[in-house]
Chain A
């Protein structure tokens, strides 16, 4: 039996096919087909299975990750989404948090609400914070408001966002039922299901993002499932979620917001596994794809996690300038810098790159599809970092003249620079953007990034990693085998899981062991349903129970982990001590004379870890690799320290364990190119990873 990981990015779709227990992985990469991403997925499966000499029917399970959802939000390409909310509160999405996230900056940027005001409607109803109904639901009014949205605004998805629905979801459910009966094709997202948290702005934003991406996710998954079926695939189909676990397709279609960082989450997971095998407990993962860059910190072999994230930041990637989502995630930073990022001259007369991306179609100018904009990939080509004849292993020719032309026309001419200088400006601007974002991310978590090693992957990551590491004073960069398809490989290493976080404020003193255990039992039953739908046997389900707790009267919580070996009914008696320990670890103080309360109940249910997480993997050599010569030749490459020089080019597939290369050098593989600068050096380790030591004094 085979296992397949497929990661659909904004620009490329990556594949990793694992052959049974051998640990051998065959990889594949092709352009994403933005009009219908399933086209590329299906074509890739056909090509890869043909190459492997197996049939799609021999694939036992397929795990899918994607940034499609994220990109749809960043580029605002989701559905026509409506919102139905409590009467009197239509403007909450515009009003926002009423705060300047940087008090010194007089020209802040804030994101536009996902649902513009004309597509928001109110319904008479009111639930109080106690869950009591103060004003009964005007169901007819709700249905006619939605009717109006469908007729007048042409919405295809609806976010139902009522106040205090986390405490009592009855009105949201009643509206959903009536609307579903009247408009069976309308996609519905309920705030009480998507993100059952207090704090309306965050909950409503999460729910509107879910609704906004539902049509796209649903249509895509339907097409993909049909296509897989037609290929003869009969195995299990699962979707990676943002928190590092996989879910069944039905779950993903209801909650596409949970897929929002799924591809990158898989990449971070893979880095952690790699770190175990390399004995590097602390890592900074750096994944630069065609549209965005992601970073995650792996500390002591574990990716850092969060209950919330902010996406689609609009103001210099600053915290507070994006859309806040309340969902369980691997703690990742996302930056709008990628190979397809469009470079332009901004109002200050300086080069700015992204976040707008040329995507796959038309793509960068060098793709030769009439893309007029100069992108990062065009700059990297013009600087000699990429080989026009060996992009995607030579399967896609790049048009160097088109890249030069676009840089000349859109940047060099208006700025009165040489084309080389302009190209360098694009490359270096992106480096600086990434460096700044990573530094802030690490500092906010109290982590000194310099003690981390960097793992560089994604199609463009290895081109930029060495210089970014140098700026960050990171001494070592690992370019894993399969760096261009790291997330796809990571998909093979994630367990099936489902996480629930629910607000339900309870004083500790009011709980008894049985009631406490029953609350978790309810959550466990709900989560187990999702797991069983994904094919996990009940006996294999592992539960992780956590609570957000605080002293009564506080506004924020400390997370308390219930010991897995203790029965929940017995754990209640130990909660106070567990809380005090956790509180002291954070605040250096314990034992305030106040009662305790539980605010959020959190449960993660997961199936077994796949074997590959333990055993590691080996990439399959491809036909012709054994005849390759390590040194392919030289080409002219620009470095700011030296100007253009003849730089040796190596073939990664011909390098053997123990080989060493001194910088400056290029090491090419099909999906990516690793660039090291003067003073750097790299060698090949026993697993086929390239390991670079960043030399010199840095900048």
Chain B
């Protein structure tokens, strides 16, 4: 087997990451839905011929960490490698085989060098519609949530499977936009395949396997060394997350033994008859994400980073819901997996673990623009980031989800709404020696001239983001329609002229607020993070 010295390995590894970045860029630039083209609700992954993931796009969602490898395995179980031919493209949106809900489409293209299968690329994007009740949490089973696309060939040897595509498009509301996004997924994998072949030609590689082995081995070794530095032990955490009716308990037991880490979600509450249940693939994604950020944040993600991690979750707990539980809004619960794991390790890695974050609000906008064109697009807005030892939390930086806000000017021109304000939400960051990040306050008016349906996905309205090492919790989130507080996971129809307001949660603080310096407090007030009153009440100081 070919050996790579560290320089060669570094260069080729970086290049594989840049190939996936090229796939992401092609996807973003050719897509039609705002969540793909602006918000970064996507992921792309490159595999070797054995199905090992080698590189993931730098800009990606944590929720897609490690979901693609099992997706590929399911696809290859249905269509074994020897049955694939150049020009084939596979597709599925199965929540349990893909990324946890029907809205994400997984598109895979095998890469052939001549006749020889040398690798695969997968792209994942959130479609603007998938039929059923529409994006929301209101379904009581997965069948109400839309059309399921079992693993199938979208292209057979370069020929579009028109019957399949028509079957899908006949069941969705925005067929042009959905078909445009599906084709963007096809396009970007084509671009990725081309880039991979150029790379292999340039370096004279007939096979990616030796390179893959080197990358995965190096990653796994680095990760194991980092896990081994965590003292062996059993670490537990439990948090409450808002479900639709009351809260649900999420529990984890983390066992660190040498260079292995096991996460067991026993004690987690049961799945519920609303679309907020989390399939295991999604729980795994955030588990792997949390462990990797605490251990080897600088190493690009691949198969090797998942190897030291073992995961267990009780069947039909809310973190391992089985069909036909509905999963449309699985992210509103699933995002809590990251702070759940962080919290378990907070005592043993106090300087690495952030206080809890204000997370984000997602609102799906569904309606008709002033010019008569229909739309369905998600607006993301970030709360404050949790503070860290030695560092204030950033204002309006979301975690663990990592969506990009759509610019005000772009959203207004695409949807036809008007922002009345978008500003900081002072005093929402948790007090502490290091302050939690500040949330924001947005007020948006329906100027489309038509009814506008908003489906909301948000948490942190009852359970505030916890502080760390004596820091205070961040402020809670609030959603309002025409001034009335509304349920954060509800669906509302705005008449023309109606307004929606979101007050974003702040991040938790770190350390005793009385230790915050006077200079820092003065700056907090000047920069709009803190009101003078809060400086008095929270810090016992008069810095106004």
Contacts and interface: CB of A to CB of B under 8 A. Distances in A.
Nearest to B398: A98
Contacts of A448: 15, 202
A511 B381 CA distance: 37
A118 B527 CA distance: 7
A198 B394 CA distance: 25
Contacts of A473: 7, 11
Interface in A118-132: 118, 126, 128-129
Contact of B440 (A95, A198, A440, A450): A95
Contacts of B62: 103
A633 to B, nearest CB: 35
Nearest to B351: A107
Interface in A87-125: 87-92, 94-108, 110, 116-118
B446 interface: no
B422 A587 contact: no
Contacts of B404: 97-99
B60 interface: yes
Interface residues of B, number: 78
Given A96-B396, A134-B418, A117 B60 contact: no
Nearest to B523: A116
Nearest to A112: B527
Interface size classification for chain A: 35 or more
A200 B26 contact: no
Interface stretch (A4-12, A357-365, A491-499, A550-558): A550-558
Given A91-B528, A555-B34, A129 B413 contact: yes
Contacts of A446: 18, 22, 195
Interface string B28-46: 1111101001101000000
Interface in A641-687: none
B423 interface: yes
B21 interface: yes
Contacts of A128: 412, 418
B526 interface: yes
B177 interface: yes
Nearest to A471: B7
B394 to A, nearest CB: 6
Interface stretch (A177-185, A301-309, A523-531, A588-596): A588-596
B44 to A, nearest CB: 14
A89 B18 contact: no
Contacts of A95: 395-396, 405, 422-424, 440
Contact of A592 (B21, B180, B194): B180
A566 interface: no
Contact of A200 (B11, B38, B407): B407
Interface in B336-394: 352, 354, 380-382, 388, 391, 394
A108 B391 CA distance: 10
A587 B187 contact: yes
A444 interface: yes
B190 A588 contact: yes
Contacts of A88: 419-423, 443
A509 interface: no
B408 interface: yes
Interface stretch (B99-107, B113-121, B163-171, B290-298): B290-298
A91 B422 contact: yes
A277 interface: no
A313 interface: no
Interface in A437-483: 439-440, 443-444, 446, 448, 450, 471, 473
B315 interface: no
B519 interface: no
A699 interface: yes
B409 interface: yes
Contacts of A126: 418
A117 B396 contact: no
Contacts of B422: 88-89, 91-92, 95
A273 B503 CA distance: 56
Contacts of A557: 29
Nearest to B198: A446
Nearest to A556: B29
Contact of B297 (A90, A99, A105, A163): A105
A201 interface: yes
A105 B176 CA distance: 37
B403 A164 contact: no
A554 B194 contact: no
Interface in B37-75: 37-38, 40, 58-62
B229 interface: no
Interface SS of chain A: loop
B17 A99 contact: no
Contacts of A97: 404-405
Select the residue from B28, B301, B381, B396 with max chain A CB neighbours within 10 A.
B396
A107 to B, nearest CB: 6
Given A88-B421, A200-B408, A553 B180 contact: yes
Interface in A72-99: 87-92, 94-99
A198 B191 CA distance: 28
A452 to B, nearest CB: 13
Contacts of B187: 587-589
Contacts of B202: 448
A198 B414 CA distance: 12
Contacts of A444: 18, 21
B415 to A, nearest CB: 10
Contacts of B206: none
Contacts of B485: none
A586 interface: yes
A107 B391 contact: yes
A699 B293 CA distance: 29
A592 B18 CA distance: 27
Contacts of B419: 88-89
B30 A104 contact: no
A553 B180 CA distance: 9
Contact of A198 (B40, B194, B354, B413): B413
A513 interface: no
B542 interface: no
A106 B37 contact: no
Interface in B502-539: 526-528
Interface in B177-197: 177, 180, 183, 186-188, 190-191, 194-195
Contact of B28 (A94, A100, A555): A555
B244 to A, nearest CB: 26
B317 interface: no
A186 to B, nearest CB: 22
Interface in B1-33: 7, 10-11, 14-15, 17-18, 21-22, 26, 28-32
A379 B104 CA distance: 54
Contacts of B413: 129, 198, 505
B526 A118 contact: yes
A587 B180 contact: no
Contacts of A588: 187, 190-191, 194
Given A117-B526, A200-B408, A587-B26, 10 more contacts: A88-B423, A98-B405, A104-B297, A129-B412, A163-B408, A200-B409, A443-B18, A473-B7, A558-B29, A589-B30
18 contacts: A91-B440, A94-B424, A95-B395, A95-B422, A103-B293, A126-B418, A129-B413, A163-B408, A199-B410, A200-B407, A440-B14, A443-B14, A443-B17, A446-B18, A554-B32, A588-B187, A588-B190, A589-B186
A-B complex: 3 closest residue pairs judged by Cβ atoms:
A555-B37, A88-B421, A129-B413
Interface of A: 87-92, 94-108, 110, 116-118, 126, 128-129, 134, 163-164, 198-201, 439-440, 443-444, 446, 448, 450, 471, 473, 505, 551, 553-558, 586-589, 592, 594, 698-699
Interface of B: 7, 10-11, 14-15, 17-18, 21-22, 26, 28-32, 34, 37-38, 40, 58-62, 176-177, 180, 183, 186-188, 190-191, 194-195, 202, 289, 292-294, 297-298, 301, 352, 354, 380-382, 388, 391, 394-399, 402-405, 407-410, 412-413, 418-424, 440, 443, 526-528
